[in-house]
Amino acid sequence: MVYAFAKAETSSKIVFLGELNQPSMKRIIHIFSIILIIALVSVAFNSLLPKEISGLDTPATEFSTERALQHLEVIAKEPHFVGTKAHDDVRDYIVQELDKLGLNPEVQEGFTFDSWRGYGNLVKPQNILARIKGTGDGKALLLMSHYDSAPHSSSHGASDAGSGVVTILESVRAYLASGAKPKNDIIICITDSEELGLNGASLFVNEHPWAKDVALALNFEARGSGGPSNMIVETNGGNGNLIKGFQEAGVEYPVATSLMYSIYKMLPNDTDSTVLREDGDIDGFFFAFIDDHYDYHTINDTTENLDRNSLEHQGSYLMPLLKYYADADLSSVKSSEDYVYFDAAVAKFIAYPFSWIWPMLILAIVLFAALLVYGQRKKRLYRKEVGKGFSAFMLSLVLGGGLLFLVWEVIKMIYPSYNDILPVFIYNGHWYTMAFAFLGLSLCFGIYHKMVKPEHTASSLVAPIAIWLIINIALALKLQGAAFFIIPVYFGLLALFLLIRQTNPSVTLMVLLSAPAIFLFAPLVQFFPVGLGPDMLYASVIFVVLLFGLLLPVFGFFRNKKVVGVLSLLASIVFLGIAHATSSPSPERQQPNSLLYYHHADTNKAYWATYNKEIDFRQEMKGTANIITEDLRLIERFFYQLKNVLDQ
């Protein structure tokens, strides 16, 4: 009896331990899948920028960031907007450096009244021009940037656009050092007065005879002081041949999607490339990094604040493109066909014609419908659970977008100084981006924990795929540049097929099938608030939810979604805490402000104006308002008296 009891007890223990062992193994697999997903996200971001900075010991025939920085230290030593002595000094330095390369530079000078763009200014730009003669008699390649700095903010112009100038100087030096003889002429145009109204570009394209020789332009710019440089196409026609050429040039770190240009065309931003395209019908590529936007057009646009990786990235674009287009047939640049194109980490750069958009979309819809029928016949898709999946996904989207939009509005009320920085990306914006991304994840895990069971993961995946197909139909109709969003949907369809056929599919395989979605959409979570301002944080959360939907073949099997949701919430709170700790201005990151004195000569009245919604100075003594008012009156009187003296 005793022995039998012991045996029974031992047997029960074995059974009990076995029951424990299976969930423990699943937990390990789930943890492994999370680590793998984090690794894929890391790959998605690490593939955007070069990680090594080329030093002074780089071979003379290659681009060196450190050598380019030597030029930049001179060019961006001080503000050099039009009309200053520093502006003349910078122009003389660039001319001197081009002369050292044996290029016999010249200065184009003339008046422009740029009324066609709405600036309405009369300017006398002084463009710097040089030409490398090719062995052929075809069209020319144009390398372009501008050397004037922003006039209204004491900007040193290190990124905008000293970085572009030194990228060209160093790349041309390296190209000539290789002893290469280009087939096509290479024209260098460092424009002036870009910051005043693109006047230098207008002067070149409308008045210089060389402009008629140009078939393609490579323009280098910046709208911040860091981050990856985005390639954007400027063309009046189709981009097909431009994209083929870019692909054949073999750029190592392409950051380029047709979505970027579609968004760029919606924004009120113009560059010298716009003038070339509109006035001269000159196609081109426009390269610009846009992160750390808070340095843009401020006194903080210095050499010290320029991200070295961003400058390295610019060089990694120009060198292969310069070598390729120096010998390419530039007569075939024009095209009537448009291409969808995108970068995707491991795959680097993929492109296909617009004519593929609808066939790819229709095929995906047909496959989805077939899988729905197949899943019902195999009794792996249940209508009730599909309905729950739609409820969970739509609720995640609505709350993710709407609720977190309101959260950001509350944050702006708590930190009213942010209103004076918008729409510029704020100093601690990346912390908020991570906080909102984890808030979105926490929301998704919490909702799916309550509404969807792991054993019905196949049914719950129907909703995200259906919503993604609807999104792609809208994109095919209105925003074809984003039509590559269909690519991850195909992998989602394959995952759904495997979930229908197998009860316990390989977790590793499911993660790998989710990789295309991670590579394409994870960077967009960061791109929207960086490119369009932190008011677009809600869009980042919507992308997190949409990405979560495509990751359901992995996350759907988690039985501990609540735990993951809580951990995501804690991570969000930590990032919000860091954002709070870095919310106040500092000597390195000053609060933007403005103060404008305006005198109306006809009425003899003067005004002080500012765009600041929050005044950044405080007085603690009694009667502060009256004292400030009196001070302003004294300053006004001073300027009025000064005007009278100058008039006399």
- Every domain of the chain with CATH number 3.40.630.10 lies at 65-337
Residue 494: which pLDDT band, with cuts at 50, 70 and 90?
very high
pTM for the model stands at: 0.87
| 3-state SS class at 19 | helix
Read off the pLDDT of each residue in 192-209 and give the average, rounded to a whole number: 94
Tell me the CA distances in angstroms from 92 to 75, 201, 516, 527, one per residue in order.
10, 19, 49, 38
Of the candidates 128, 179, 130, 163, the one whose C-alpha atom is nearest the C-alpha of residue 323 is 179
| 3-state SS class at 478 | helix
Question: What is the pLDDT at residue 4?
Answer: 40
Question: What is the pLDDT at residue 116?
Answer: 54
| Greater pLDDT, 248 or 643 | 248
In the beta sheet, which residues pair with residue 214?
A: 140
Using a pLDDT cut of 90, give the percent of the chain over it. 73
Tell me the CA distances in angstroms from 79 to 84, 123, 373, 562, one per residue in order.
8, 19, 67, 54
Q: Whole-number mean pLDDT of the chain?
A: 89
CATH no., domain 65-337: 3.40.630.10
Question: Over the stretch 87-136, which tens digit does the pLDDT of each residue have?
Answer: 999 999 999 999 999 999 999 999 998 655 666 788 999 999 999 999 99
Of the candidates 136, 182, 326, 174, the one whose C-alpha atom is nearest the C-alpha of residue 245 is 326
Length of the chain measured in residues: 648
